[in-house]
Amino acid sequence: MRVFQKISDLRDHLAGYRGRNIGFVPTMGFLHVGHMELISRAKAENDIVVVSIFVNPLQFGPSEDLAKYPRDLERDRKMLADADVDILFAPTVEDMYPRPMRTVVDVPDIGRQLEGAVRPGHFVGVATVVTKLFNIVQPQSAYFGEKDFQQVVLIKRMVEDLAQPVRVVAVPTVREADGLACSSRNVYLNPAERLAARIVPAALDEAERCYREGLDDPAALETALAAFIVNEPLAFAEVVAVRDPETLEPVHSLRAGPVLVALFVRIGSTRLLDNRVIGLSNDAVTRAA
Ligand code: AMP
Protein backbone atom coordinates (compact mmCIF):
# COMPACT_ATOMS: atom_id res chain seq x y z
CA MET A 1 0.00 0.00 0.00
CA ARG A 2 1.25 3.49 -0.87
CA VAL A 3 0.66 6.24 1.67
CA PHE A 4 0.45 9.90 0.66
CA GLN A 5 0.15 13.01 2.76
CA LYS A 6 0.59 15.74 0.14
CA ILE A 7 -2.09 16.44 -2.48
CA SER A 8 0.51 16.95 -5.23
CA ASP A 9 2.29 13.63 -4.48
CA LEU A 10 -1.01 11.74 -4.60
CA ARG A 11 -1.96 13.45 -7.86
CA ASP A 12 1.39 12.59 -9.48
CA HIS A 13 0.98 8.97 -8.45
CA LEU A 14 -2.65 8.73 -9.61
CA ALA A 15 -1.66 10.09 -13.03
CA GLY A 16 -0.14 6.63 -13.64
CA TYR A 17 -3.56 5.00 -13.27
CA ARG A 18 -5.32 6.78 -16.14
CA GLY A 19 -8.02 4.55 -17.69
CA ARG A 20 -8.40 2.37 -14.59
CA ASN A 21 -11.41 2.50 -12.29
CA ILE A 22 -10.76 4.17 -8.96
CA GLY A 23 -13.02 3.42 -5.99
CA PHE A 24 -12.79 5.95 -3.17
CA VAL A 25 -13.70 5.59 0.51
CA PRO A 26 -13.47 8.85 2.48
CA THR A 27 -13.20 8.41 6.28
CA MET A 28 -12.11 10.18 9.43
CA GLY A 29 -10.10 7.12 10.51
CA PHE A 30 -10.14 5.09 13.74
CA LEU A 31 -11.37 2.36 11.44
CA HIS A 32 -13.89 -0.31 12.35
CA VAL A 33 -15.77 -3.07 10.55
CA GLY A 34 -18.25 -0.56 9.10
CA HIS A 35 -15.43 1.22 7.24
CA MET A 36 -14.00 -2.15 6.17
CA GLU A 37 -17.34 -3.08 4.61
CA LEU A 38 -17.20 0.05 2.43
CA ILE A 39 -13.65 -0.92 1.46
CA SER A 40 -14.59 -4.50 0.47
CA ARG A 41 -17.38 -3.16 -1.67
CA ALA A 42 -14.97 -0.70 -3.31
CA LYS A 43 -12.42 -3.48 -3.89
CA ALA A 44 -15.02 -5.74 -5.49
CA GLU A 45 -16.09 -3.05 -7.96
CA ASN A 46 -12.87 -1.21 -8.94
CA ASP A 47 -9.29 -1.67 -10.17
CA ILE A 48 -7.78 0.61 -7.52
CA VAL A 49 -9.03 1.53 -4.05
CA VAL A 50 -8.11 4.84 -2.42
CA VAL A 51 -9.02 5.42 1.24
CA SER A 52 -8.67 8.84 2.83
CA ILE A 53 -8.27 9.52 6.54
CA PHE A 54 -8.87 13.13 7.43
CA VAL A 55 -10.56 14.52 10.54
CA ASN A 56 -12.09 17.52 8.82
CA PRO A 57 -12.19 20.61 11.07
CA LEU A 58 -14.74 22.30 8.76
CA GLN A 59 -17.46 19.88 9.79
CA PHE A 60 -17.03 20.27 13.57
CA GLY A 61 -18.74 23.05 15.53
CA PRO A 62 -16.75 25.12 18.05
CA SER A 63 -18.05 23.13 21.05
CA GLU A 64 -17.71 19.72 19.40
CA ASP A 65 -15.20 16.86 19.75
CA LEU A 66 -12.61 17.81 17.07
CA ALA A 67 -9.65 17.78 19.49
CA LYS A 68 -10.59 14.54 21.20
CA TYR A 69 -11.90 12.70 18.12
CA PRO A 70 -10.20 9.25 18.30
CA ARG A 71 -7.14 8.89 16.07
CA ASP A 72 -4.69 6.00 15.55
CA LEU A 73 -3.08 6.34 12.14
CA GLU A 74 -0.62 3.49 12.67
CA ARG A 75 -3.35 1.00 13.55
CA ASP A 76 -5.49 2.24 10.62
CA ARG A 77 -2.53 1.93 8.25
CA LYS A 78 -2.03 -1.73 9.22
CA MET A 79 -5.75 -2.51 8.84
CA LEU A 80 -5.77 -0.97 5.36
CA ALA A 81 -2.58 -2.74 4.28
CA ASP A 82 -4.04 -6.06 5.53
CA ALA A 83 -7.19 -5.35 3.52
CA ASP A 84 -5.04 -4.85 0.39
CA VAL A 85 -6.01 -1.24 -0.09
CA ASP A 86 -3.87 0.33 -2.82
CA ILE A 87 -3.55 3.89 -1.59
CA LEU A 88 -4.03 5.68 1.72
CA PHE A 89 -4.34 9.45 1.54
CA ALA A 90 -3.78 10.93 5.00
CA PRO A 91 -3.27 14.69 4.68
CA THR A 92 -2.77 17.08 7.59
CA VAL A 93 -5.08 20.06 8.06
CA GLU A 94 -2.33 22.26 6.56
CA ASP A 95 -2.11 20.00 3.50
CA MET A 96 -5.88 20.17 2.91
CA TYR A 97 -6.39 23.79 3.92
CA PRO A 98 -3.12 25.71 3.45
CA ARG A 99 -5.16 28.91 3.52
CA PRO A 100 -8.53 29.60 5.16
CA MET A 101 -11.27 28.27 2.88
CA ARG A 102 -13.06 31.05 1.01
CA THR A 103 -15.13 28.62 -1.06
CA VAL A 104 -17.77 26.30 0.32
CA VAL A 105 -20.37 23.90 -1.03
CA ASP A 106 -23.79 24.18 0.57
CA VAL A 107 -26.86 22.00 0.02
CA PRO A 108 -29.12 24.05 2.27
CA ASP A 109 -32.50 22.32 2.06
CA ILE A 110 -30.98 18.96 2.89
CA GLY A 111 -28.10 20.09 5.09
CA ARG A 112 -29.88 22.37 7.54
CA GLN A 113 -32.39 19.88 8.88
CA LEU A 114 -32.17 16.82 11.16
CA GLU A 115 -28.50 16.47 12.19
CA GLY A 116 -27.80 19.78 10.43
CA ALA A 117 -30.28 21.58 12.71
CA VAL A 118 -28.43 20.31 15.80
CA ARG A 119 -24.97 20.84 14.24
CA PRO A 120 -25.09 24.15 12.33
CA GLY A 121 -22.53 24.23 9.52
CA HIS A 122 -21.76 20.53 9.74
CA PHE A 123 -23.00 19.62 6.28
CA VAL A 124 -21.36 22.61 4.60
CA GLY A 125 -18.10 21.19 5.98
CA VAL A 126 -18.98 17.73 4.72
CA ALA A 127 -20.03 18.84 1.22
CA THR A 128 -16.95 21.04 0.90
CA VAL A 129 -14.41 18.42 1.97
CA VAL A 130 -16.03 15.67 -0.10
CA THR A 131 -15.96 17.91 -3.18
CA LYS A 132 -12.31 18.74 -2.57
CA LEU A 133 -11.45 15.06 -2.05
CA PHE A 134 -13.36 14.12 -5.23
CA ASN A 135 -11.34 16.75 -7.12
CA ILE A 136 -8.08 15.37 -5.76
CA VAL A 137 -8.78 11.62 -6.17
CA GLN A 138 -11.10 11.81 -9.22
CA PRO A 139 -12.74 8.47 -8.49
CA GLN A 140 -15.30 6.75 -10.71
CA SER A 141 -17.17 5.53 -7.61
CA ALA A 142 -17.28 6.66 -3.99
CA TYR A 143 -18.63 4.65 -1.05
CA PHE A 144 -20.63 6.01 1.88
CA GLY A 145 -22.43 4.33 4.79
CA GLU A 146 -26.19 4.39 5.23
CA LYS A 147 -25.57 4.93 8.93
CA ASP A 148 -25.09 8.56 7.91
CA PHE A 149 -28.23 8.48 5.79
CA GLN A 150 -28.60 12.25 5.56
CA GLN A 151 -25.00 12.47 4.34
CA VAL A 152 -25.75 9.98 1.56
CA VAL A 153 -28.85 11.90 0.46
CA LEU A 154 -26.91 15.17 0.52
CA ILE A 155 -23.92 13.86 -1.41
CA LYS A 156 -26.10 12.21 -4.05
CA ARG A 157 -27.91 15.51 -4.56
CA MET A 158 -24.67 17.52 -4.60
CA VAL A 159 -23.14 15.21 -7.22
CA GLU A 160 -26.26 15.51 -9.35
CA ASP A 161 -26.63 19.30 -8.98
CA LEU A 162 -22.95 20.00 -9.72
CA ALA A 163 -22.53 17.23 -12.35
CA GLN A 164 -19.64 15.76 -10.40
CA PRO A 165 -18.55 12.69 -12.41
CA VAL A 166 -18.77 10.23 -9.50
CA ARG A 167 -21.09 7.29 -8.87
CA VAL A 168 -22.20 7.43 -5.23
CA VAL A 169 -22.68 4.00 -3.64
CA ALA A 170 -24.59 3.60 -0.36
CA VAL A 171 -23.57 0.66 1.85
CA PRO A 172 -25.90 -0.78 4.53
CA THR A 173 -25.04 -0.13 8.19
CA VAL A 174 -22.76 -2.64 9.93
CA ARG A 175 -23.76 -3.31 13.54
CA GLU A 176 -22.32 -4.78 16.72
CA ALA A 177 -23.79 -8.09 17.95
CA ASP A 178 -26.41 -6.26 20.08
CA GLY A 179 -27.55 -4.03 17.22
CA LEU A 180 -25.62 -0.83 18.00
CA ALA A 181 -24.30 0.69 14.76
CA CYS A 182 -20.49 0.53 14.61
CA SER A 183 -19.01 4.01 15.01
CA SER A 184 -15.62 5.47 15.85
CA ARG A 185 -17.39 7.47 18.58
CA ASN A 186 -18.55 4.30 20.39
CA VAL A 187 -15.17 4.32 22.21
CA TYR A 188 -16.35 7.38 24.14
CA LEU A 189 -19.02 5.27 25.88
CA ASN A 190 -18.24 3.97 29.37
CA PRO A 191 -19.64 0.49 30.21
CA ALA A 192 -22.94 1.83 31.61
CA GLU A 193 -23.37 4.12 28.59
CA ARG A 194 -22.52 1.30 26.20
CA LEU A 195 -25.37 -0.74 27.68
CA ALA A 196 -27.69 2.27 27.56
CA ALA A 197 -26.80 2.80 23.88
CA ARG A 198 -28.84 -0.30 22.99
CA ILE A 199 -31.90 1.93 23.30
CA VAL A 200 -31.03 3.38 19.88
CA PRO A 201 -31.40 0.22 17.73
CA ALA A 202 -34.22 -0.88 20.08
CA ALA A 203 -36.10 2.32 19.17
CA LEU A 204 -35.75 1.44 15.48
CA ASP A 205 -37.23 -2.00 16.21
CA GLU A 206 -40.02 -0.22 18.06
CA ALA A 207 -40.67 1.94 14.98
CA GLU A 208 -40.93 -1.18 12.87
CA ARG A 209 -43.31 -2.73 15.41
CA CYS A 210 -45.58 0.35 15.46
CA TYR A 211 -45.61 0.35 11.65
CA ARG A 212 -46.53 -3.35 11.49
CA GLU A 213 -49.32 -2.78 14.02
CA GLY A 214 -50.89 -0.34 11.60
CA LEU A 215 -49.82 3.10 12.87
CA ASP A 216 -50.24 5.67 10.10
CA ASP A 217 -49.52 9.08 11.65
CA PRO A 218 -45.83 10.13 11.42
CA ALA A 219 -46.21 12.59 14.33
CA ALA A 220 -47.65 9.82 16.51
CA LEU A 221 -44.69 7.60 15.63
CA GLU A 222 -42.23 10.39 16.55
CA THR A 223 -44.01 10.87 19.88
CA ALA A 224 -44.03 7.13 20.58
CA LEU A 225 -40.30 6.82 19.82
CA ALA A 226 -39.38 9.85 21.95
CA ALA A 227 -41.38 8.28 24.83
CA PHE A 228 -39.63 4.95 24.25
CA ILE A 229 -36.17 6.55 24.44
CA VAL A 230 -37.06 8.48 27.62
CA ASN A 231 -37.24 5.08 29.37
CA GLU A 232 -33.47 4.98 29.26
CA PRO A 233 -32.26 7.50 31.89
CA LEU A 234 -28.82 7.97 30.26
CA ALA A 235 -30.33 8.77 26.86
CA PHE A 236 -31.49 12.13 25.52
CA ALA A 237 -33.16 12.19 22.10
CA GLU A 238 -32.04 15.26 20.13
CA VAL A 239 -33.70 14.26 16.85
CA VAL A 240 -36.54 11.79 16.35
CA ALA A 241 -37.86 12.32 12.86
CA VAL A 242 -39.93 10.49 10.28
CA ARG A 243 -39.11 11.70 6.77
CA ASP A 244 -39.19 10.94 3.07
CA PRO A 245 -36.01 8.91 2.41
CA GLU A 246 -35.25 10.70 -0.86
CA THR A 247 -35.95 14.34 -0.02
CA LEU A 248 -35.81 14.23 3.81
CA GLU A 249 -39.03 16.27 3.76
CA PRO A 250 -41.74 15.51 6.37
CA VAL A 251 -44.31 12.91 5.29
CA HIS A 252 -48.05 12.88 5.94
CA SER A 253 -48.58 9.15 6.21
CA LEU A 254 -46.50 6.08 7.06
CA ARG A 255 -48.41 4.17 4.41
CA ALA A 256 -47.84 6.36 1.36
CA GLY A 257 -44.40 4.86 0.67
CA PRO A 258 -41.20 3.97 2.48
CA VAL A 259 -40.27 6.35 5.30
CA LEU A 260 -36.97 7.12 6.99
CA VAL A 261 -36.85 7.01 10.78
CA ALA A 262 -33.85 9.15 11.79
CA LEU A 263 -32.51 9.21 15.35
CA PHE A 264 -29.87 11.43 16.89
CA VAL A 265 -29.50 10.42 20.53
CA ARG A 266 -27.08 11.65 23.16
CA ILE A 267 -25.84 9.07 25.65
CA GLY A 268 -23.99 11.08 28.29
CA SER A 269 -21.97 13.48 26.14
CA THR A 270 -21.72 11.11 23.14
CA ARG A 271 -23.97 11.67 20.14
CA LEU A 272 -25.13 8.52 18.37
CA LEU A 273 -26.76 8.51 14.99
CA ASP A 274 -28.91 5.76 13.56
CA ASN A 275 -31.76 5.28 11.14
CA ARG A 276 -33.90 2.77 9.37
CA VAL A 277 -36.15 2.89 6.33
CA ILE A 278 -39.43 1.18 7.14
CA GLY A 279 -42.08 -0.03 4.78
CA LEU A 280 -39.55 -1.46 2.31
CA SER A 281 -37.74 -4.73 1.69
CA ASN A 282 -34.00 -4.71 2.49
CA ASP A 283 -32.91 -4.59 -1.15
CA ALA A 284 -35.13 -1.64 -1.77
CA VAL A 285 -33.70 0.11 1.31
CA THR A 286 -30.30 0.18 -0.36
CA ARG A 287 -31.79 1.50 -3.60
CA ALA A 288 -33.68 4.23 -1.74
CA ALA A 289 -30.42 5.48 -0.23
P1 AMP B 1 -16.48 8.34 9.40
O2 AMP B 1 -15.05 7.88 9.50
O3 AMP B 1 -17.26 8.12 10.66
O4 AMP B 1 -16.61 9.72 8.81
O5 AMP B 1 -17.16 7.37 8.34
C6 AMP B 1 -16.63 7.18 7.05
C7 AMP B 1 -17.64 6.45 6.22
O8 AMP B 1 -17.93 5.20 6.83
C9 AMP B 1 -18.98 7.21 6.11
O10 AMP B 1 -19.47 7.06 4.79
C11 AMP B 1 -19.84 6.49 7.10
O12 AMP B 1 -21.22 6.56 6.79
C13 AMP B 1 -19.34 5.07 6.97
N14 AMP B 1 -19.68 4.30 8.16
C15 AMP B 1 -19.45 4.65 9.45
N16 AMP B 1 -19.96 3.73 10.29
C17 AMP B 1 -20.53 2.78 9.51
C18 AMP B 1 -21.24 1.56 9.78
N19 AMP B 1 -21.47 1.16 11.02
N20 AMP B 1 -21.67 0.84 8.73
C21 AMP B 1 -21.45 1.26 7.45
N22 AMP B 1 -20.80 2.38 7.13
C23 AMP B 1 -20.35 3.14 8.14
For residues 239 and 115, the answer to whether their CB atoms sit within 8 Å is yes
pLDDT at 73: 98
pTM of the model: 0.96
CA 156 to chain centre: 13
- pLDDT at position 284 over 90: no
How are the residues of the chain apportioned to helix, strand and coil, as percentages rounded to the nearest 5? Answer: 45, 20, 35
* Ligand 1 lined by 76 (C-beta under 6 Å): no
* Interval 130-167: pLDDT, tens: 999 999 999 999 999 999 999 999 999 999 999 999 99
pLDDT at 281: 53
Angle separating helix axes 199-212 and 218-230, nearest 10 degrees: 140
Confidence of residue 8 (pLDDT cuts 50, 70, 90): very high
Mutate to test the pocket of ligand 1, among 31, 36, 38, 141 (most ligand atoms within 8 A of CB): 38
* Interval 221-267: pLDDT, tens: 999 999 999 999 999 999 999 999 999 999 999 998 899 999 999 99
* Ligand 1 lined by 183 (C-beta under 6 Å): yes
Instruction: State the distance from the centre of ligand 1 to the C-alpha of 32, rounded, in angstroms.
Output: 9
pLDDT at 139: 98
Element (H, E) at 125: helix 122-137
- pLDDT at position 190 over 90: yes
Confidence of residue 280 (pLDDT cuts 50, 70, 90): confident
